């Protein structure tokens, strides 16, 4: 295992290129399994979640070729195979194999997903959707077995606007007989990206990005070429890091519309945000005001930016309150920030943050965005070196992090974490 070493105190300055979105990529790669010929994905992020997914696809018999940010997936020789354990346990989004394999073969046997377990993350709405489509779903020793002689379109109301359930139902329903209507669907941009890919493969999906999605099932899907949308969470993290270090950073290859909640909150604090067509410039200032933030489903402030935003709020004057209405206990970054001198208390689903300087410390990333919060914190520290272990979580979602930060002037490097290997 490795750890990140950061000597902070330098304002980030320059330009950073944002890669394709993790949460799109981990859905688009399994979506390709529904095609009967080659799918080419461009602008894929180089992150461990995608690397693991490509290994899973090869175990299932797909031919996968990767060249930088491009991946060719030929699923024509794919076979239906149970995947109870192994790599599916390494990432959360392995649940998309359920919808993809069910759509392609009428059956799937997949182990329960792994990934960042910052709190219990049920998949009851995914299962409710598969059952509504006519599948039988059983839990066998921690694996989900799903089978259907013939998937049939249905009207499905989601109790919560779940990103994963919306996409999983779209995947399976693309190959069902007749019309599926998802009500109270999630509206995240990654859902539109998946629908765009599926439609390019021959699916008939309308309404993605709204709360009602209509999917007219088709008999077969074919290959295509698709470019993945930019990662709004990665972009938001760099926006936060630029503001926290009082820097001046141009964040390039973004869709500013996807970052409206982030932009609004930064402006409210007193950060200068300049939006262009495909980039956003952040100009930090000497002092920021405390604010309240509510993490909500899209287009609200994203829960995936809640942890790094907590760090930024330690740099504001006074008391800020950050409430997470999506994941009410996603606060594993808080005790680690406290080791760095932060004054934060968790009350119910809120973090109450009092502004103040942070110190260097040895800290541990317990999940992906908790890791991002610690990286931003370390960049603000004026004296000493912060050591962040648990880098494997950060590598799940940040393409080229160390190089990007170095190009922006940060003093950051990786070292072998001898403590974790002993």
Residue 307 phi/psi, 5° resolution? -65, -50
Helix (H) or strand (E) holding 360: none
Smallest distance from ligand PEP to CB 368, Å:
5
- 283 in helix, strand or coil? strand
Q: How many Å from the N-terminal Cα to the C-terminal Cα in the chain?
A: 10
Contact 338, 330 (CB under 8 A): no
- Residue 184 neighbours by CB distance under 10 Å: 17
193 binds ligand UD1 (CB under 6 A): no
23 is in an annotated binding site: yes
Smallest distance from ligand UD1 to CB 365, Å:
15
Closest listed residue to residue 154, CA positions, set 172, 183, 132:
132
Smallest distance from ligand PEP to CB 340, Å:
21
* Positions 297 through 356 that interact with ligand UD1 (CB under 6 A): 303-304, 326-327
In sequence order, what are the residues at sequence separation of 6 or more whose Cβ sits closer than 8 angstroms to the Cβ of residue 124?
Answer: none
Question: Annotated catalytic sites, by residue?
Answer: 116
Nearer to ligand UD1, 75 or 164 (CB): 164
Nearer to ligand UD1, 160 or 276 (CB): 160
Write the binding mask 97 to 136 for ligand UD1: x where contact by CB under 6 A, - elsewhere: ------------------------xxxxxx----------
Smallest distance from ligand PEP to CB 92, Å:
4
94 binds ligand UD1 (CB under 6 A): no
Tokens representing residue 328 in the block: 């009410």
123 is in an annotated binding site: yes
Contact 206, 174 (CB under 8 A): no
Q: Which residues pair with 350 in a beta bridge?
A: 323, 347
10 binds, among ligand PEP, ligand UD1, none (CB under 5 to 8 A by kind): none
205 binds ligand PEP (CB under 6 A): no
Tokens representing residue 235 in the block: 């972009």
User: Binding ligand PEP by CB under 6 A: which of 175, 333, 364, 369?
Assistant: 369
Contact 195, 169 (CB under 8 A): no
22 is in an annotated binding site: yes
Smallest distance from ligand UD1 to CB 326, Å:
5
Write the binding mask 246 to 275 for ligand UD1: x where contact by CB under 6 A, - elsewhere: ------------------------------
124 is in an annotated binding site: yes
304 binds ligand PEP (CB under 6 A): yes
Smallest distance from ligand UD1 to CB 155, Å:
18
92 binds ligand PEP (CB under 6 A): yes
Nearer to ligand UD1, 155 or 414 (CB): 155
In sequence order, what are the residues at sequence separation of 6 or more whose Cβ sits closer than 8 angstroms to the Cβ of residue 149?
Answer: 106, 134
Binding-site size for ligand UD1 (CB under 6 A) equals: 20
Q: Which residues pair with 65 in a beta bridge?
A: 72
395 binds ligand PEP (CB under 6 A): no
116 binds ligand PEP (CB under 6 A): yes
Residue 13 phi/psi, 5° resolution? -140, 140
121 is in an annotated binding site: yes
For residues 4 and 263, what is the distance between their CA atoms, to the nearest angstrom?
28
Smallest distance from ligand PEP to CB 318, Å:
28
State the DSSP string of 292-341.
EEEE-STTSB-GGGHHHHHHHHTTEESEEEEEESSSTT--THHHHHHHTT
368 binds, among ligand UD1, ligand PEP, none (CB under 5 to 8 A by kind): ligand PEP
Contact 196, 213 (CB under 8 A): no
**DSSP assignment letter at 278:** S
Closest listed residue to residue 236, CA positions, set 302, 191, 290:
302
Q: Which residues form the interface with ligand PEP (CB under 6 A)?
A: 22, 92-93, 115-116, 304, 368-369, 397
Binding residue ranges: 22-23, 92, 121-125, 304, 326
Binding residue ranges for UDP-N-acetyl-alpha-D-glucosamine: 92, 121-125, 304, 326
Q: Which residues form the interface with ligand UD1 (CB under 6 A)?
A: 23, 26, 92-93, 121-126, 160, 162-165, 186, 303-304, 326-327
């Amino acid at each position: 295992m490795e750890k990140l070493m950061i000597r902070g105190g330098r304002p980030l300055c320059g330009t950073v290129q944002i890669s394709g979105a993790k949460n799109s990529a981990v859905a688009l790669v399994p979506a390709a399994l529904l095609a009967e010929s080659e799918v080419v994905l461009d602008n894929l992020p180089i992150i461990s979640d995608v690397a693991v997914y490509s290994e899973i696809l090869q175990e299932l018999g797909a031919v996968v070729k990767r060249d930088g940010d491009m991946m060719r997936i030929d699923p024509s020789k794919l076979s239906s195979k149970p995947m109870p354990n192994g790599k599916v346990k390494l990432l959360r989004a392995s649940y998309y194999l359920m919808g993809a394999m069910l759509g392609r073969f009428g059956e799937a046997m997949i182990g329960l997903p792994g990934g960042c377990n910052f709190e219990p993350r049920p998949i009851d709405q995914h299962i409710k959707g598969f059952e509504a489509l006519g599948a039988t779903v059983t839990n066998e020793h921690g694996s989900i077995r799903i089978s259907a002689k013939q998937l049939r379109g249905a009207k499905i109301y989601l109790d919560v606007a779940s990103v994963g359930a919306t996409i999983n139902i779209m995947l399976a329903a693309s190959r069902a007989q007749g019309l599926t209507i998802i009500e109270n669907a999630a509206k995240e941009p990654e859902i539109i990206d998946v629908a765009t890919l599926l439609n390019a493969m021959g699916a008939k999906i309308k309404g993605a990005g709204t709360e009602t999605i209509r999917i007219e099932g088709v008999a077969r899907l074919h290959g295509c070429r698709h470019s993945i949308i930019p990662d709004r969470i990665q972009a938001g993290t760099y926006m936060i890091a630029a503001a926290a270090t009082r820097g001046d950073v141009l964040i390039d290859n973004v869709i500013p519309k996807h970052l409206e909640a982030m932009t609004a909150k930064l402006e409210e604090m007193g950060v200068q945000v300049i939006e262009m067509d495909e980039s956003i410039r952040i100009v930090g200032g000497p002092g920021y005001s405390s604010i309240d933030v509510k993490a909500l489903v899209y287009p609200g402030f994203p829960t995936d930016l809640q942890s790094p935003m907590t760090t930024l709020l330690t740099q504001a004057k006074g008391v800020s309150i950050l409430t997470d209405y999506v994941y009410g206990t996603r606060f594993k970054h808080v005790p680690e920030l406290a080791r760095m001198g932060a004054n934060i208390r968790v009350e119910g689903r809120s973090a109450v943050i009092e502004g103040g300087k942070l110190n260097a410390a040895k800290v541990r990333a317990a999940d992906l965005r908790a890791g991002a919060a610690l990286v931003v914190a370390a960049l603000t520290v004026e004296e000493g070196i912060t050591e962040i272990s648990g880098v494997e979580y950060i590598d799940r979602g940040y393409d080229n992090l160390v190089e990007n930060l170095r190009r922006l002037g940060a003093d950051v490097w990786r070292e072998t974490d001898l403590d974790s290997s002993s």
